[in-house]
With several copies, the nearest count.
Chain A
Amino acid sequence: MIMMKNSKFLINAGIGFTILIVIWQFIAEVGGYESALFPPPSKVWEGILTLISDGTLLTHLQVSLSRFITGYLSAVIVAIALGLILGRIPLLWGVIDPIVQVLRPVSPIAWSPFIVLWFGIGDIPAIVIIFIAAFFPVLLSTVSAVRKVENTYIKVAQNFGIKKLELLRKIILPAVFPYIANGLHIAVGTAWIFLVSGEMVGSQSGLGYLIVDARNSMRLDLVMAGIIFIGIAGLILDKLVGLFESWINRIWGRQSA
Chain B
Amino acid sequence: NGSEEEKSGGNEKRTIKIGYLPITHAVPLFVEKELGKYENFDLELIKFGSWTELSDALNTGRIDGASMLITLAMKAKEQGIDVNAVALGHRDGNVVVVSKDISNVADLKGKSFAIPHKFSTQNVLLYQLLKQNGLKYEDVNVVELPPAEMPAALSEGRISGYVVAEPFGAVSVSLEKGKVLYQDKDIWENSIDCSLVLRSEFIEKEKELAQEFVNYYIEAGHFAEQKDAQVKDMLLNYMKVDQNVLDLSLEWISYDDLKINREDYEELASNLVEMGLFESPPAYEDFVDHSLIEKAK
- Residues on A lying within 8 angstroms of B by beta carbon are 34-37, 63, 112-113, 116-118, 120-123, 200-205, 209, 212-219
Contact = CB atoms under 8 A, between A and B. Distances in A.
Contacts of A35: 80
Contacts of B2: 122
Contact of A116 (B21, B76, B152): B152
Contacts of A209: 49
B240 interface: yes
Interface of B: 1-4, 21-22, 46-57, 59-60, 62-63, 72, 75-76, 78-81, 112, 114, 117-119, 143-149, 151-153, 155-156, 158-159, 167-168, 171, 175, 177, 239-241
B81 A36 contact: yes
A169 B34 CA distance: 58
A216 B3 contact: no
B161 to A, nearest CB: 13
A204 B59 contact: no
A120 B52 CA distance: 14
B121 to A, nearest CB: 15
Given A121-B159, A123-B1, A202 B81 contact: no
Given A37-B151, A37-B152, A116-B57, A213 B76 contact: no
Given A217-B239, A218-B59, A218-B75, A202 B52 contact: no
A120 B158 CA distance: 5
A203 B146 CA distance: 11
Interface of A is mostly: loop
Across the A-B interface, give the 8 residue pairs with the lowest CB-CB distance, nearest first: A120-B158, A217-B240, A212-B49, A122-B3, A204-B1, A36-B79, A116-B56, A116-B149
Contacts, number: 150
12 contacts: A34-B81, A36-B80, A112-B53, A112-B149, A113-B152, A116-B57, A116-B145, A121-B143, A202-B62, A217-B22, A218-B55, A218-B59
A121 B59 contact: no
A219 B75 CA distance: 10
Given A36-B81, A113-B148, A116-B62, A215 B52 contact: yes
Given A112-B56, A121-B62, A216 B117 contact: yes
B153 A121 contact: yes
B83 to A, nearest CB: 11
A63 B1 CA distance: 10
A204 B113 CA distance: 12
Contacts of B76: 218
Contacts of A37: 59-60, 81, 151-152, 155-156, 175
Contact of A120 (B153, B168, B171, B241): B153
B283 to A, nearest CB: 18
B145 A216 contact: no
Contact of A122 (B1, B47, B49, B144): B1
Given A116-B153, A213-B49, A215-B56, 20 more contacts: A37-B155, A37-B156, A120-B153, A120-B156, A121-B62, A121-B63, A122-B2, A122-B3, A200-B53, A201-B56, A202-B56, A202-B62, A202-B153, A203-B1, A209-B49, A216-B119, A217-B75, A217-B118, A217-B239, A218-B241
A216 B148 contact: yes
A202 B149 contact: yes
Residue in B114, B149, B152, B159 with the greatest tally of chain A CB atoms within 10 Å: B152
Contacts of B1: 63, 122-123, 203-205
B143 A204 contact: yes
Given A34-B155, A216-B118, A217-B241, A200 B75 contact: no
Given A34-B177, A36-B79, A116 B158 contact: yes
Nearest to A206: B1
B45 to A, nearest CB: 10
Residue of A35, A37, A203, A219 contacting most chain B CB atoms (<10 Å)? A37
B148 A202 contact: no
B81 A121 contact: no
Contacts of B158: 116, 120-121
Given A204-B143, A217-B22, A117 B148 contact: no
Contact of A218 (B3, B62, B145, B171): B171
Contacts of A120: 3, 57, 60, 62, 153, 156, 158
Contacts of A113: 56, 148-149, 152
Of the listed residues A112, A118, A201, A218, the one surrounded by the most CB atoms of chain B closer than 10 A to its CB is A218
